[in-house]
A and B are shown apart, each in its own frame.
Chain A
Amino acid sequence: MIENPPGFERSVLRRLGGAFNATSTGQFLATIPGAGKLFAGFRGGFWRALAKDVAHSGPWRSAFKHPLPQTPKEQSEIAITSFWMHLHPATVSRKSLKFSVTYGLGGLSAGLFAMLLITGIMLMFYYVPATDHAYKDMVDLQSAVSLGKILRNMHRWAAHLMVIVVCLHMLRVFIQKGYKPPRQFNWVIGVVLLVLTMMLSFTGYLLPWDQLALWAVTVGTNMAGAIPLIGEKFRYVLLGGPAVDQATLIRFYVLHVIVLPVAIMLVMVFHFWRVRKDGFSGGLEHDA
């Protein structure tokens, strides 16, 4: 038998807030004609009893090991033990919170990436990476799929924006000397992220399989072919053959939807972790 920690009851009820409050639910139902009669049997203690049952269940209690923190000490304890809380730093200097320190560019890049991930997965429900399908699927997405047009354009514009925002983020770090010790390694990781962003951008560019895509990738891979010694071989492997064709489409697709996103997510996590470990750059002069 597990004992509730002190303050447990109070914390659970505060977390639940008014969501399961019987009175307010009843008032809400009264505004819908007929609903009052329908839910008459549930009125009164039903929701409150259900909330209490849920709050006392093992799975629910396992998710909230601690009561709501009342003191700074309790707060910092939770910041160490809780996964969600540990994502946020225990302390932040006031100066590094100023908007003009970061312009939110790193967060914007990450946000755009999240948006690209979600819209990209949704596009995958309709897009088939075959030379006789790809262009038609893209056109269908634009015209025949519910929300398809906004979905594809969100993906497209977010992709363009991400390249711009990532470059601005780099510029901002450069201008503010954020690359200097102790943050020099995070600059290197950032460069890796920039390259991965460009590669995602380039591989995604082929997927609509229109004339622009075809010739842009022909030009791009021919540039890769200009690398001394290994260039021609490298180009052949990139294309999966002598010219842009089905083999190229599936290669770029696999890179675009699995290989590069997984790679960039791993490096991103490392990038964020280093931001925390190296300290926020805005607070450098004032922290010491």
Chain B
Amino acid sequence: MQGSELNRDEIQSRRFFIAGLVTFFTSFALVVLGALRFVVPNVQYGKSLRFKVGMPSDFPDKAATYVSDQQIFIVRDGNSYLALSATCTHLGCAVRPDDASPGFFCPCHGSRFGSDGTNIAGPAPKPLEVYEVSLGNGGELIVDKRVRTSRKDRFRT
């Protein structure tokens, strides 16, 4: 019992003091680092990532229709439908239909995209994202933003 207790000299030693300091500041740093977790939100309230956009016949042929509350374009070409993200792949601004060509134009830094979302000019490094389109029970188009597909793999009615 006597041997396991620190004697007075040990408690007053420089080594004990430094060990105490190191322990204190290490635990303090760990607590601070752990507390940083606070700034990362755990819950996001928002719209469902899988949603109805309307009947296939609602969309005009050979045109891009903007679904503003979801920030996507539905591009219809005959019986094929493409759900394109309206978020520019450069720095995230919202693209809009190009006045000069059938594609899209980003007002922030001038990127241009073809009507199938292919990046053709400006700083955008990638084509616009393509989301999966399917048909709901009521015959309406359903877009799922969680599933990204290829522009070659178009949905056909």
A interface, CB within 8 angstroms of B:
215, 218-219, 221-223, 233, 236-237, 240-242, 247
Cβ-defined contact, B44 with A241, below 8 A: yes
**Which residues of B, 30-59, contact A by the 8 Å Cβ criterion?**
39-41, 44
Q: Which residue of B lies closest to A235 (CB)?
A: B92
Q: Decide if the interface of chain B is mainly helix, strand, loop or mixed.
A: loop
| Contact for A247 among B41, B91, B93, CB less than 8 A | B41
A interface footprint on B92-136 (CB within 8 Å = 1, 0 otherwise): 111000000000000010000000000000000000000000000
**B44 engages A237 (CB within 8 Å):** no
Q: Which residues of B contact A240 (CB under 8 A)?
A: 41
- The majority secondary structure among interface residues of chain A is helix
Q: Is there an interface contact between B41 and A215, defined as CB atoms closer than 8 Å?
A: no
Contacts of B93 in A (CB 8 A): 215, 218-219
Extra contacts besides A219-B93, A233-B40, A237-B39 (7): CB < 8 Å: A215-B93, A215-B94, A219-B91, A221-B92, A236-B40, A236-B41, A247-B41
Which residues of the other chain, B, contact A219 by a CB distance below 8 angstroms? 91-93, 108
Complex: how many Å from CA A218 to CA B93?
7
Bound: A222/B92 CA distance, A: 7
| Minimal Cβ-Cβ distance residue in B for A215 | B93
Minimal beta-carbon separation of A10 from chain B (angstroms): 55
Cβ distance A260 to chain B, nearest Cβ, rounded Å: 15
Judge whether B40 and A223 touch: CB under 8 Å: no
Is the CB–CB distance between B44 and A218 below 8 Å?
no
- CB proximity of B7 to chain A, nearest CB, Å: 43
Select the residue from A221, A222, A236, A247 with max chain B CB neighbours within 10 A. A222
Task: Tell me how far the C-beta of A33 lies from the nearest C-beta in chain B, rounded to whole angstroms.
Answer: 66
* B40 partner residues in chain A, CB cutoff 8 A: 233, 236-237
- Whether the Cβ atoms of A242 and B44 lie closer than 8 Å is yes
Do B91 and A222 touch (CB < 8 A)?
Answer: yes
Query: Which chain A residue lies CB-closest to B41?
Result: A240
Report the Cα distance A219→B41, complex, angstroms: 21
A239 to chain B, nearest CB (A): 9
Q: How far is the CB of B125 from the nearest CB of chain A, in Å?
A: 11
Are the CB atoms of A215 and B108 closer together than 8 Å? yes
Residue ID in chain A nearest B89 by CB atoms: A222
A222 to B106 CA separation, bound complex (whole angstroms)? 15
